[in-house]
Structure 1
Amino acid sequence: MSSGRMTAKHAVITGGGAGIGRETALLFAAEGAAVAVADVDARAAEATAGEIAAAGGRAIAITVDVADPDSVSAMIAAAEQGLGAVDTLFNNAGVMLSGDNGPEDTEQSVWDRTIAINLTGVFHCCRFGLPALQRAGGGSILNMSSLVAVMGAAVPQLAYTASKGGVLAMTREIAVQYGRRNIRANALLPGPIGTPLTAQLFDTEEKLERRRVHMPMGRFGKAVEVAEVALFLCSDAASYVTGAGYLVDGGIHAAYVTPLDAAEGDAAP
């Protein structure tokens, strides 16, 4: 049952067509928000917006390429026109590209594209979104970072890791600069989440086990579990929370080793 935690909010969610973005759009709408579902995949954005409308919510679909500043500027303008205001930004769109390896074997094109979407894309959304939030009298920004912003990855993914570390640092600075303008800024730092993207990345049992062995809870997170934290951070319940990086990783950051067998408590070597 909805508690109306996002009543009278007007949210833009990038990457809203699938995964965490989709689950967050559905949850925000169920909690009373008007939602602009933005995605590079127009059909995916329209499908999520249609699902919200079918449930009695209010949503519009916007096609956006966050790596293109003109596209992001147009997204914010369309959201303000379609929703009446923008007071909540969830800058969630991101990629993890094939060929993202270590510093010696990651191609320049992979580095550039990853940074363009994951880091510069968030910058574009904040750059064009902040004036809209100020026109609305304030609001909340939530940027998608990652667990790897605070922990190194043994499986090389240098461009992704660097981009997510940059998002966390940028979020802190925005929080400090805009705190007295009634604007909060926080970052989400998920661990491995069961989304279509992770299904592509961990497509064998060996790859899955390489990750699961380090998980105290023994499983990947669910997209809706991240969406619930996003809901808290963007709602008035988090009115005194800004500049934070929220870990949603099932305890991975707290673990040195995890048991081989949880029932017996045997420690992994």
Structure 2
Amino acid sequence: MRRFEGYGVMITGAARGIGAATAHRFAAEGAQVAVTDVDGRAAEKTAAGIREQGGVARAFTCDVGSRESVEAAVAAAVEEFGRLDVLVNNAYACAPDAARFEDEPDDVWARDLDVTLTGAYRCCRAALPHLVASGRGAIVSVGSVNGLQDYGNHAYSAAKAGLGSLTRTLAGHAGPRGVRVNLVAPGTVRTPAWSGRGAALDAVSGLYPLGRVGEPEDIAAAVTFLASPDAAWITGVTLPVDGGLTSANLGFRTQLA
């Protein structure tokens, strides 16, 4: 099934993990994919892998913390593909919490919010005119269950919750202009961010009703669904893709058993 034949798609943070899996999924369904990342060399590696599989992909260096870098990447993608139909906001920053909340430094808080939330804002602002012009524009942001419940990481969680709010307000603004805006909220996903922590992933797997943590491909499937014509009457929603984590508390049940 090639739902994105002729589409131009831009994905941030696409060099690895969820972003890379999403880039591969879009390309496999016919899209021309702009693989963007602050690590341009890693982005090119992902794009090259897509091309080796017969897909169409170009890599662009993009620092979502810079308005100039974002606007240049959007312009380059539009010039390369002749259009932009889908924006996927996937780039994020997540610093460990200080032991005590009152010891959290301002710069750590500011960076998590700037990359994760304000970075998505910068990308939406730059891409929106092109998404409107496409006549089938869609924005899908990658949030987190951290934006829905408490799983730690104060700044990251606040930024992901903010993405949910931005999704709703932008959906109301962009809907009459023909652009849909949605968000996917993943649970724990086996990405390079968990490298060397396999035991921790195994430990939390039992807290998921479906008995496992997620894979990047699980999130890519949800992102492409929300970006596709199959979701033509869906906008402004947050879709948890979390193996049932936010719908059930297995740890609590186990303690009562």
TM-score range normalised by the length of the shorter chain: over 0.9
Aligned position for 1:42: 40
Give the superposition deviation at 1:95: 2.0
Deviations along 1:195-227, one digit per CA (max 9) or x if unpaired, are 011336xx273x446633422223210000110
- Of 243, 248, 257, which residue of structure 2 is paired with 1:255? 248
Distance 2:187 2:43 in 1: 25
Q: 2 CA distance for matches of 1:100 and 1:38?
A: 31
Q: Which residue of 2 aligns with 1:110?
A: 108
Residues 12 and 258 of structure 1: CA distance in aligned 2, closer, same or farther (over 3 Å): same
| Residue identity in the other structure for 1:267 | T
Aligned to 1:263: none
Closer, same or farther: CA 110–122 of 1 in aligned 2, 3 Å: same
- Once the 2 structures are TM-superposed, how far is the Cα of residue 268 of structure 1 from its aligned partner? 2.9
Contact (CA 8 Å) 2:87, 2:140: kept in 1 or not?
A: yes
Residue 117 of structure 2 is aligned to residue 119 of structure 1: yes
Q: Which amino acid aligns with 2:149?
A: M
Q: CA deviation at 1:101?
A: 6.0
Give me the identity figure in percent: 38
Give the TM-score normalised by the residue count of structure 1: 0.90
How much has 1:53 moved relative to structure 2? 1.2
Which blocks of at least 5 consecutive residues in structure 2 are unaligned? none
State the TM-score, normalizing by the size of structure 2.
0.94
Q: Counterpart of 2:205?
A: 212
* Superposition pairs of residues 1-269 of structure 1, within 5 angstroms: 3-99=1-97, 103-153=101-151, 156-199=152-195, 203=197, 205=199, 207-208=200-201, 211-258=204-251, 267-269=254-256
AA of the residue aligned to 2:233: Y
Take 1:101 and 1:179, find their aligned partners in 2: how far apart are those partners?
43
CA deviation vs aligned residue, 1:15-47 (integer Å, no higher than 9, x gap): 111001000101100100000000011111101
* Whole-angstrom CA distance in 2 between matches of 1:239 and 1:121: 26
The whole-number CA distance in structure 2 between the counterparts of 1:234 and 1:100 is 37
Gap regions ≥5 residues in structure 1: 260-265
Change (3 A) 1:54 1:251: same
DSSP 3-state at the match of 1:8: coil
Q: Deviations over 1:222-265 (max 9, x none)?
A: 00011011111111111001001010000001112348xxxxxx
**In structure 1, how many angstroms separate the alpha carbons of the residues matched to 2:191 and 2:98?**
19
The separation in 1 between residues aligned to 2:193 and 2:100, in whole angstroms, is 20
SS in 2 for 1:194: coil
- Please say if residues 100 and 111 of structure 1, whose CA atoms lie closer than 8 Å, have aligned partners that are also in contact: no
